[in-house]
Amino acid sequence: MRKEITDRKDVSLLVNQFYAKVRADEDLGPIFNGIITDWEEHLEKLTDFWEMNLFGKRIYDGNPMIAHQKADTLTGNKITPYHFGIWINHWFATIDNYFEGENADILKSRARKMQTLLMVSIFEHRGK
């Protein structure tokens, strides 16, 4: 049964289920699994990020643009819009599987914006 996203516990469920899909994905898995060495720490950081985006709590400490630029460099500049398309599809599917309502829609919208910002950031970084 789907429910509203109301707290950190819900965000954590979303992040953990989403990254389980990402890690198992034939295209995304090798990228993420090849870069992330501490999944527990990464999942906590991403839960902080999405909780901040949804509820405004200033608990996230990081720079997603720089992190994704580094990831692209580590993959030999092989991250493409195709990869971001898979990412967003997994994000939406995970939200739709567990959640509904306004906060679910907000997280979809913010992920779309993040997807665009990260892609532009990566491609601008390649040009430097």
Whether 76 is covered by a domain: the verdict is yes
Residue 104 is assigned to a structural domain of this protein: yes
pLDDT of the chain, 128 residues: tens digit per residue: 899 999 999 999 999 999 999 999 999 999 999 999 999 999 999 999 999 999 998 899 999 999 999 999 999 999 999 999 999 999 999 999 999 999 999 999 999 999 999 999 999 999 87
**Is residue 52 situated within a structural domain?**
yes
In a domain, 3, yes or no: no
Give the number of domains in the chain.
1
Q: What is the span of the domain harbouring residue 30? A: 8-126
Distances (CA, A) of 110 to 49, 53, 74, 101, 106: 11, 8, 26, 15, 6
